[in-house]
Amino acid sequence: MNFRRSTFAFAFLSATALSLAATAADVPAGYPADYAKVIEAAEKEGKVVVYSSTDAAAAQPLLKAFAKAFPKITVEYNDLNSTELYNRLISEVAAGSTGDVTWSTAMDLQIKLAQDGYAMTYASPEKAKLPSWAAYKDQAYGTTYEPILFVHNKRLLPEAQMPKTHDEFIKILTEKKAELTNKVATYDPERSGTGFAYISNDQLHFPKLWDLAAALGGVSVKLYTSTGTMLEKIGSGEHVLGYNMIGSYAINRGKKDPNVGVVYPQDYMEVVSRVMMIPAKAKNPNAAKVFLNFVLSLDGQKAMADSGLFAMRDDVEGEATAKSLKAKFGDKLKPIPVDDTTTQYLDQTKRLAFLKKWQEAVSKH
């Protein structure tokens, strides 16, 4: 199975940075008194192996912040798509051991792993700082608060013509069918766990989902497993319009590429979270706990906000934060909860029925 690996050791931190780094004697406020022993054990383990669907480039500010705080723990970062991540963990556990942390945008697959006994039960001391819906049985934790957006090529489809609601998305696909044929992109729900989670969740908020699917089929929608690939094709003009795109990636791309624009849906906006868990058979369980806690900590959340990943905690300030989104959009935001309801369409019968209906809808053109 192909995957990309990056190791962030940062061995040459300055003496000043090292003097500020955490040691086994440093226990954050509110943590158990014996957490110093966890840090000490983590430093002896020496590394944490992370399997993640978050692009390494997007994660780098977080990884640098972690390296500064814990220079004795190297992060081995494996960048996979969400379905690869899920399958890799299961196959490795069957062989006896696996990585130390999984971090995925496919919320349903992460919860399914926990339901099936693959997750370690660990009560993070940072849990109280998260929304009540963002933690699952002390086994899986939501780390980000990211909007799902419409994306367009601003040169080929000006913002004034862009749909602002899901109904309007159907309308533009219908009215501009000739111009948009082969020019619209979205996730492939069959090959992408992330895409399946987003489109199946649409059913909860949009009764006309199957009309939308038919309209996407009417323009011969192009299906992908990667937001990055879709954004490249929209920026180049190969595609004009994107549906159900991860907002953090799209917004960051738009800051670098003047052709890429985003629209925040005005009727409802799905909010997704990158879910993190520690596998029960993690090789380096203490380093995994330290990494998880750092990601959920104020410093870790600030690092993610700085990179545009939309911090989950309400005490983080800035543009890419839950606090900012809530102030702007209020009850239009529809977070996908980190709970058992997230996996309802992973039931094999329901999943196959959903995908069959999707295939029938998109093929009617």
Q: What residues does each domain of the chain span?
A: 4-145+273-320, 146-271+342-362
Query: 147 pLDDT exceeds 70?
Result: yes
Query: 58 pLDDT exceeds 50?
Result: yes
With cut-offs at 50, 70 and 90, classify the pLDDT of residue 348. Answer: confident
Q: For 74-96, what is the mean pLDDT? A: 94
The region, left, alpha or beta by phi > 0 then psi within -120 to 50, assigned to residue 136 is beta
Query: 223 pLDDT exceeds 60?
Result: yes
Query: 26 pLDDT exceeds 80?
Result: no
202-211 pLDDT per residue, tens = 999 999 999 9
The CATH number corresponding to 4-145+273-320 among 3.40.50.1000, 3.40.50.800, 3.40.190.10, 3.40.50.2020 equals: 3.40.190.10
pLDDT given at position 17: 43
183-193 pLDDT per residue, tens = 999 999 999 88
Q: For 278-287, what is the mean pLDDT? A: 97
Query: 127 pLDDT exceeds 80?
Result: yes
pLDDT given at position 6: 52
Say if residues 361 and 295 touch (Cβ distance below 8 Å): no
Say if residues 146 and 333 touch (Cβ distance below 8 Å): no
The more confidently predicted of residues 9 and 138 is 138
- Tell me if 4-145+273-320 shares its fold with 146-271+342-362: yes
pLDDT given at position 1: 36
Cα→Cα distances 10→55, 65, 100, 359, Å: 19, 10, 20, 47
With cut-offs at 50, 70 and 90, classify the pLDDT of residue 111. Answer: very high
Mean pLDDT (the chain) is 91
Does the pTM of the predicted model rise above 0.85? yes
Q: Pick the closest to residue 51 from 127, 110, 134 (CA basis).
A: 110
pLDDT given at position 9: 46
Q: For 120-128, what is the mean pLDDT? A: 97
- Out of 173-187, 298-312, 345-359, which region has the weakest mean confidence (pLDDT)? 345-359
Q: Which CATH superfamily is domain 146-271+342-362 in?
A: Periplasmic binding protein-like II (3.40.190.10)
Q: Pick the closest to residue 301 from 70, 44, 66, 1 (CA basis).
A: 66
For the chain, percent of residues with pLDDT exceeding 90? 82
Query: 108 pLDDT exceeds 80?
Result: yes
230-260 pLDDT per residue, tens = 999 999 999 999 999 999 999 999 999 999 9
